[in-house]
Amino acid sequence: ASMVSVSMWLLAAAAATRCCTVAAYGEYKEGDPVPVYVNKVGPYENPHETYHYYSLPLCRPEKIIHHSLSLGQVLDGDRMADSAFDIKFKQPSTFRSLCGKQRLSGADAVALAEAIEKMYYAELIIDDLKVHHFLGSVLEEPTVFPHTHRVFLYTHYEFELEHNEGHVIAVHLRMNRSSMIELHHDTEASVDIGYSVKWRQTSTPVGSRSLSSSSSSSTFFAASRAGAVHWLSITGSLLLVGMLVTTVGFIVASAVKRDLTRYNKLGDEERDDYDDLALDNGWKTVAGDVFRPPGYPMALSAVLGAGAQLLILAAALLLIGTTEVVAVHNHGLLHSLCVVVYALTSGIAGYVSSHKYQALDGKRWIANINLTSLVFVAPLAAAWAFSNTVAWIYGSTQALPWTTVVALVAIWGLVGYPLTVIGGLLGRAVRAGKGSSAPFRTRTIARELPHESCTRRTPMQALIGGFLPFSAIAVELSYIYSTMWGRETYTLYGVVTIVFCILIVVTACCSIGLTYLQLAGENYHWWWRSTLIGGSIAVYMFVYGVAFLLHSTSMGGVLQLTQFVTHLSLLCYAAALACGTISHVAAATFVQYIYSSVKSD
């Protein structure tokens, strides 16, 4: 029943993703108008500090006509509106005025000059391809003191569009620096912003159009160098995995085999009762306590359920991106997929949590289901409420409209939560099989724990267990951070899939090795510690993110830093849940195996 239910959820997720495959770009004949929308503006160094394009006095129409957006586009901070650009397919044009001569007041000139000084960029959407450009440039005067500079506004946009088989393949935008005008603070100015269009035939297929739009050829060279670094980091990670698996497997297998051999030499009378195992030392000594239910079993079950759901979500997104079932690079589609797939996989969280809670003799299963549904959603909602409030105060497009908030709440309330309840009912109905039952009876009186040194205690063991998994993904993580808080577009989903598999293997090996050392030290409190061993990767990810902020970016300001901290915290929290689940499952499987081997002998 569990396999059938999981298969149904995955099929539903696949069907939902196919509903999102409608092409956002068009097919044109010569002379057909190509849609051009204005979107947002903001400081180049602060990718999440964005404002509406028409918040600046650049050819602002009397009536702004907004374009309908998908859920993913709204979550990405997009606010598309009609523009005055008139581009026709395969028809070049010389300089054409965008809105005629425009008179800028002193206040308008100040607003534009300040935006240019802050390196504001603007984003256009041409046939669903994003195109970015700076508003102007700043010329520093050679004088040392007093420091002065001149501010110039670009007034001539030069578009070069590539086409193939009736489709727009790529858009390149260059600003003509010979036609820019100087802006003076508090001084009126007259500007005439215009554009010219060129068309060029290309052999690039339509399927690669989202990878072809750029403003400089250096982007392709950077991508080539990045690809080489990707494969180099994967090679190093694979070597680490091989060494780790070999080492952990050899040490643990040889130690367990040695202990079992010593145990097998005992006579039959000595093995009649498992209490006689207390005469031996090591992990067999705690056979009567190792399966004792942990403290806070409901919380542990909820964490494992939420972690399992996030693992399935990550695997589904990587599978979709790698197989290119849908074009995840399309404008805003990835955000939509995250929401839809997360809602449809909520049943997995309910099933895993309820099944685990039942195995730990839990009784309050309704409270367990409710807690499971909130383990990730509640921190997500709290972080969003805080960052959204700050964005709303600043008037940023990162603040979600109330209609989007209602839609997200409805998706969770009508799809996510009911599926969590259904999964919880299924998990509660499925009984644990023979292989998952405890091979030893639990002692009536708990065994006293031995004294442990500082390095053998939970905090230090958890930090040790999180370091190796982090080191395996550190290089790839830098590219993910650059995508989230930079201007790069990540496209190598196959590489991320390999790194994801490496992360699973390394986390499982670390958990097994450290759990064996813990049991060999006669400490049977492994339930939560094994979870924290994998979850501690979040500590390293957060520290790495702060280092990335300080040394690899120039981000600043309350709005951007709020967005950065909330996004990074949620990413690390999700990683802690997912990796903690991997670590716990690996440790539980190992513990079940070694004690079942003792009992069977």
Provide the Cα torsion 53, 57, 61, 64; round to 10°: 30
Amino acid at 2: S
Between β-strands 129-134 and 120-126, what pairing exists: parallel, antiparallel or unpaired? antiparallel
Check residue 3 and give its pLDDT. Answer: 40
In contact, 501 and 433? CB cutoff 8 Å: no
Alpha-helical (H) ranges within 265-296 are none
Looking only at the bridges linking them, the beta strands covering 194-201 and 156-164 are: parallel
Side-chain-side CA neighbours of 234 within 13 Å: the count stands at 15
Q: Which of 177-181, 315-319, 324-328, 430-434 has the least mean pLDDT?
A: 430-434
Average pLDDT over residues 310-332: 81
Report the alpha-carbon distance of residue 150 to residue 136 in Å, rounded: 11
Residue 261's pLDDT band (boundaries 50, 70, 90)?
low
Beta strands in 108-232, from DSSP E residues, in sequence order: 120-126, 129-134, 136-140, 149-153, 156-164, 167-175, 181-183, 189-191, 194-201
Q: Which of 187-196, 201-210, 365-374, 380-389 has the lowest mean pLDDT?
A: 201-210
Task: Give the least confident one: 134-138, 260-264, 411-415.
Answer: 260-264
- Residue located via tokens 């919380």: 299
Burial bucket for residue 209 (CB in 10 Å: 0-12, 13-18, 19+):
buried
Backbone conformation region of residue 162, classed left if phi is above 0, alpha if psi is from -120 to 50, else beta: beta
**What mean pLDDT comes out for the span 133-151?**
76
DSSP-based helix, strand, coil % in the chain, nearest 5: 60, 15, 30
CB contact at 8 A, 140 and 117: no
> What is the pLDDT at residue 230?
60
Are 340 and 17 spatial neighbours (Cβ–Cβ below 8 Å)?
Answer: yes
Helix (H) or strand (E) segment spanning residue 53: none
Task: List b or e across 357-381, with b for residues whose CB sees 16 or more CB atoms inside 10 angstroms.
Answer: bbbbebeebeebbbbbbbbbbeebe
Query: In which band, very low, low, confident or very high, does the pLDDT at 20 lie, cut at 50, 70 and 90?
Result: very low
Q: What is the mean pLDDT of residues 179-201?
A: 88
Least confident segment among 247-251, 288-292, 393-397 = 247-251
Distance CA 229, CA 250 (A): 32
558 vs 18, residue with greater confidence: 558
What confidence score (pLDDT) does residue 473 get?
A: 87
What pLDDT sits at residue 23? 44
CB burial string 168-203: b at 16+ within 10 A, e below: bbbbbbebeeebbbebeeeeebebebbbebebeeee
Positions of E strands within 14-72: 33-34, 36-43, 51-52
Q: pTM to 2 decimals? A: 0.85
Max mean pLDDT range (272-276, 521-525, 530-534):
530-534
For 84, half-sphere exposure in the C-beta direction (CA atoms, 13 angstrom radius) is 18
**Sequence-distant (≥ 6) Cβ neighbours of residue 139 within 8 angstroms:** 149, 150, 151, 152
pLDDT at 227 over 70: no
Q: Which amino acid is at 148?
A: T
Q: Over the Cα atoms of the chain, what is R_g? A: 29
Please name every residue paired with 102 in a beta bridge, in sequence order, or none if there are none.
191
Q: What percent of the chain has pLDDT over 70?
A: 81
